[in-house]
Amino acid sequence: MREGVLQILGAGINRIPMPNYPAPLQTTLALRFELDLHEGAKQHSLLVQIVSASDDAVIGSVAGTIGPIAQEAVTDPDLPVQAVTAVQLSKIEIEAEGRYDAVISVDDRELRRVRFAVRSAALPGSPPSARIVALPSQKAPVASDKSSN
């Protein structure tokens, strides 16, 4: 990642082969958020949880932050500010094949779930690791500072 540009070699993979279990999830989740100028100036908490698709049991999680976006990086104040990040999921260990969800939350609010499957045995020609990419971008809803009358 360089200056807000995320280079992706492979994208849209939703099946991950694993030769044995337990095994680390050798996957990176690429995310892009659109924020208004005011929210882009703030730091936001990011949480990615890997959960079992069958019962929502949490397998593991990775926490981080997005923003703040440097104001000098804003080229057009009328356009949304983009924040990109790559979340390494390799510290999360998968115990068995099955379907899983990557639950993406910002500021303790769930924004999106990305479903993927883990299968036994490597497929012919499969790379040793894979990438899961959530596209298109999600506009990150954030709490408003405006009070209702």
Q: Do residues 27 and 131 lie in contact, with contact meaning Cβ atoms separated by under 8 Å?
A: yes
Q: Count the neighbouring beta carbons within 10 Å of the beta carbon of residue 80.
A: 16
Is 87 inside any structural domain?
yes
Question: Each residue of 64-91: pLDDT tens digit?
Answer: 999 888 777 677 777 788 888 889 999 9
What is the model's pLDDT at position 141? Answer: 52
Instruction: Give the three-class secondary structure for 37.
Output: helix
Is 49 inside any structural domain?
yes
Question: Each residue of 113-142: pLDDT tens digit?
Answer: 999 999 886 555 555 554 454 444 455 555
Q: Do residues 35 and 85 lie in contact, with contact meaning Cβ atoms separated by under 8 Å?
A: no
* Range from 2-6, 96-100, 140-144 that averages highest in pLDDT: 96-100
Is 89 inside any structural domain?
yes
Is 126 inside any structural domain?
yes
Is 48 inside any structural domain?
yes
Is 42 inside any structural domain?
yes
The total number of structural domains in the chain stands at: 1
**Integer Cα distance of 117 and 122 in angstroms:** 13
CATH of the domain at 113: 2.60.40
3-state secondary structure 17-55: EECCCCEECCEEEEEEEEECHHHHCCCEEEEEEEEECCC
Q: Do residues 86 and 131 lie in contact, with contact meaning Cβ atoms separated by under 8 Å?
A: no
**Integer Cα distance of 101 and 54 in angstroms:** 9
**Integer Cα distance of 80 and 140 in angstroms:** 11
Q: Residue 60: which domain range?
A: 23-139
Is 108 inside any structural domain?
yes
pTM flag (> 0.85):
no
Instruction: Give the three-class secondary structure for 60.
Output: strand
* Size of the chain, expressed as the number of residues it contains: 149
More confident residue, 73 or 19: 19
Strand order from edge to edge, sheet including 58-66: 15-18, 109-120, 98-106, 44-52, 58-66
Is 40 inside any structural domain?
yes
